[in-house]
Amino acid sequence: MDGLSKMTPAEAIETAAQSLALHVRRAKSFVVLTGAGMSTECGIPDFRSPGSPWLANPPMPYDRFLASEEARREAWRRKFALDDHHKGAVPGEGHRALARLVSEGIVETVITQNIDNMHQAAGVPADKIIELHGNGTYACCLDCGRRHELAFCRRALEKDNRAPRCEACGGIVKAATISFGQAMPQEAMRRATLAAGSADLILAIGSSLLVFPAASLPLLARDNGAVFLILNRGETGLDDEAHERFDVEAGPVLSSLASHLARRVN
C-alpha cells in the first residue's frame, strides 16, 4: 500500500489492519509465514537490520561446525553472545495477537523461520506451528538425537572450555536450529508445503523473504491461487510477487487485526 507512507503511524496501522481484515474475511484457509521482524518488538534483533549483533556474531556454516572442535566452541560462543543480548525476552503484541487468531480458528497455521520459541510462548499449540529453521532454545545430539538443555552446553563451554558432547553417546551436540548448509527438516517442510499449497490467503510477516526455501512457500501458495500479502517494515525480495504489501510495524497491525476480527466472531 503506497499511501501508507503519507499517513501518521496510527493511521497507517489502522488502514493496514482494515485492509487485511477484508482479505481475511474472504479467506477460507489463512496461513502466515513469520520471520525475524516478528520478534524485534520483543528486543530480539533481526538478521539484516543495520547494527544487528548478528553481524558481529555471524552464524557458523554447518560444514565448519562439523569440521573442528575450535569452530564448535566459536559457534557456541556466538550463540550465547546473541542469547545474552535478549535474555528474558517475552512474546510481543504481534505474537499475542497471532496466538489469539489461531485460537479463534482464523489463522490455520503459523509457519515460522524464527528459532526463538516466541509463538509457542504466546500460546500457539504445537500442531499449529511449523518451525522451518528449528528452535534455538535447546540443543540436540547430532548422532542419537538426544535433547540437551542450553544450561548444560553453557557449563561445558564456560567451565571446561570445550564444546558440549552428548551425555548418552559422546556425539556432537548442536543447537536445535538449521544452520546454513544443513539439510532442511523434512517433516517441517512437508507440513509447510501442504499448508501453503492449500491456503487461499498467505501473509508473510517481518521477513526479508530472501532465505530459501522458506521464501518459496508464499510463491507456491500464490501459484495455487492464494492471495499473497506482505506485512513488513521495508523492502523484501518478493515485493514484486505479492498482491499487496503493507510497509508498517507488524505488532500493532496484528493486534488491531485481531480486534477487528474478534468483533466479527463475538
Catalytic residues: 133
As beta bridge partners, residue 141 has: 173
179 binds, among ligand NAD, Zn ion, none (CB under 5 to 8 A by kind): none
Helix (H) or strand (E) holding 245: strand 244-246
Applying CB under 5 A, does 138 fall inside the site for Zn ion?
A: no
Stretch that binds ligand NAD, among 1-9, 20-28, 231-239, 254-262 (CB under 6 A): 231-239
Applying CB under 6 A, does 93 fall inside the site for ligand NAD?
A: no
Q: Find, among 70, 194, 180, the residue nearest to 127 by Cα.
A: 194
Q: Find, among 101, 89, 111, the residue nearest to 25 by Cα.
A: 101
Between CA 57 and CA 164 the distance in angstroms is 19
Q: What's the grid cell of residue 190? A: 512437508
116 binds, among Zn ion, ligand NAD, none (CB under 5 to 8 A by kind): ligand NAD
Q: Which long-range contacts (CB under 8 A, 24 or more apart) does 63-69 make?
A: 63/181, 65/174, 65/179, 66/142, 66/172, 69/162, 69/163
144 binds, among Zn ion, ligand NAD, none (CB under 5 to 8 A by kind): Zn ion
Closest approach of ligand NAD to the CB of residue 159, in Å: 27
Please, which residue, 169 or 194, has the CB nearer to Zn ion?
Answer: 169
> 178-207: which residues touch ligand NAD (CB under 6 A)?
206-207
Q: What's the grid cell of residue 169? A: 553417546
Q: How far apart are the first and last CA of the chain?
A: 29
> 40-59: which residues touch ligand NAD (CB under 6 A)?
40-41, 44, 46-49
Closest approach of ligand NAD to the CB of residue 150, in Å: 15
Closest approach of ligand NAD to the CB of residue 177, in Å: 7
Q: Which residues bind ligand NAD (CB under 6 A)?
A: 35-37, 39-41, 44, 46-49, 113-116, 133, 206-208, 210-211, 232-234, 249-251
